[in-house]
Amino acid sequence: MKKKLTFISIVIIALLLAGCNLPANQNPAEPTDDSMATEIAKILTGTPVQILISPTAGADQAATEEPTSEAATQAPTAEPVEDTATPAPTSTPTMAPTATLSDTDPAKSLGAPDWVDNLDNGNNWLTDNDAFTKIKFEGGYMKLTAITDLDGWRLSWPGPDDFYLEGKFQTPDCSGTDHYGLMFRTPKNSGASQGYLFGITCDGKYSLRLWDDPNMTSLVYWTASDKIIKGENVVNTLGVMAKGDTLTLYVNGSKVDEVKDKTFSEGIFGVFVGGDNGVDFTMWLDQIRYWDVK
């Protein structure tokens, strides 16, 4: 990471002055961005109402946007709440096998990844519950539960420029338009109020959304794909190749779409979850990793 030593030094100094302000399970040896600690509870709607932007429209082109719902245009004021309840389900489900990966899967040709988290613990993430999601690390999974009808997320600390990012997701209980996926290129100083969200629904659709508070714009509106394994008790692997202004989307190793957008060129990444069919929809993240690409 750029200026890594300087950033770590700033964090150490801040800890000395503030008296260890990290979450209980945060690894103090890893860089921690203030935006994760202070703004992780910011929320966005799961069903955007903005006018669709053509996938070929660059960020330097004027785009007509409608505001999101009232709940999405204002940052929530509720303080994070501690909740010791265990997100359901707690047992490891019997999962259907992941779809056979395509020969075009970038992970097959990129070699060893530059960063991997197998989710054996929460050292790379915020581990506190908040007003919108519950989180638990158990059995080699991050279990992130939506407890409202709005999307919520967790962000990690790496901030690559050009990369291939991949997350392996499991959904023990999943139906309809419940959705989950990858959040990426969130500017470090944005307060988690900007970035891209690539996600899929349980009924087999994918989308790419641009979040620039208070507006959410669909770069790719919810589109059906036979590459998505639908329903519950399934495994889906989502990938994003971000090279300059070109964002290429993969599901289970197969390319499903490609968009050019110049709005954000770098930033941190994470995962999100949204339950449209009631609260307590839980996404299980099995592994997340990325490769630096040129």
pLDDT in tens, 68-120: 333 333 333 333 333 334 334 434 455 555 556 678 899 999 999 999 999 99
- The pLDDT score that the predictor gives to residue 99 is 55
pTM of the model: 0.70
**Cβ(144)–Cβ(133) below 8 Å:** yes
Given CATH 2.60.120.560, say whether it is the number of domain 35-292.
yes
Examine the pLDDT at 55 and tell me if it is beyond 60. no
pLDDT tens for each residue of 229-267? 999 999 999 999 999 999 999 999 999 999 999 999 999
Tokens of 267: 């930033």
> What are the residue boundaries of the structural domains of the chain, listed by start?
1-32, 35-292
Cα separation of 199 and 35, whole Å? 22
Tokens of 68: 């999101």
Phi/psi at 168 (5° precision): -105, 115
Count other C-beta atoms under 10 Å from residue 151's C-beta: 29
SS3 146: strand
Length reported for the chain: 294
Tokens of 131: 């007003």
**Within 13 Å of residue 254, how many CA atoms lie on the same side as its CB?**
14
